[in-house]
Structure 1
Amino acid sequence: MSVDNNPTIFIGIAEPDATQFDAWSHQPLLVSIEQGGIDWPSSCRNGTCRTCFSKLERGQVRYEIDWPGLSAEEKEEGYVLPCVAYPCSDVVLQHQSF
């Protein structure tokens, strides 16, 4: 994981109820979501179980692992794994249930 000496704070919105949270650039979105008091489904926290599988409705994220557990098609369609996705902008997320 890279060291971010000057972390940026972005605005995060969790749908469907538009709950706002602080999305810090130096930590995975899931951590920021939980720090915001939002109960978000999660399990493994390493990008393999897909419990936190979400649609990135707006914004951009980056990954610090080579394979974040998403297919190329899912990435193209805007799906993310908040447990390993770091925000690069303000974000709006919608959890996807299977």
Structure 2
Amino acid sequence: MTETDPSHRVRVEPLGVSFDAPESLTLLEAGGFAGVSLPRSCRNGTCRSCLCRIVSGTVRYTIEWPGLSREEKAKGYTLPCVAIATSDVIVDVPDATVV
């Protein structure tokens, strides 16, 4: 990592595994490089296979409006395939696995 590519710690619950997510990668990509498999399919924010909830922390999106309703965003839901950590993050992903 360089100073121009800050990294944040992502913790996946209930799996209890953490990994670093540089701001150049989505949560899904960073998890994959760290050996953490999150549910996925389209990888572009439309299929919602990766839908999960942010317990704490903040993200920004690689697309203008990911496939989430305003209500879902307000309740903390996110799509890791298009979400980039902007702080340390805890996500609730019941179907995550270590590969």
Deviation, 1:39, is: 1.7
Structure 1 residue runs without a partner (length 5+): none
Distance 2:13 2:94 in 1: 10
Contact kept, 8 Å, 1:55 with 1:96, in 2: the verdict is: no
Question: How many equivalent residue pairs?
Answer: 93
Other-structure match for 1:72:
70
The alignment status of 1:91 with 2:83, answered yes or no, reads no
| 1:20 paired residue number | 18
Q: TM-score, normalised by structure 2?
A: 0.88
For 1:53, the equivalent position in structure 2 comes to 51
- 40, 43, 47: which one aligns with 1:42: 40
Give percent identity, aligned residues only: 44
Kindly report the root-mean-square deviation, in angstroms, between the aligned alpha carbons of the 2 structures. Answer: 1.4
State the TM-score, normalizing by the size of structure 1.
0.89
- Once residues 8 and 26 of structure 2 are traced to their aligned partners in structure 1, the CA distance between those partners, rounded to angstroms, is 12
- Contact 1:58 1:91 (C-alpha < 8 Å) held by counterparts: yes
Q: Unmatched 5+ residue regions in structure 2? A: none
Counterpart of 1:31 in 2: which secondary structure? helix
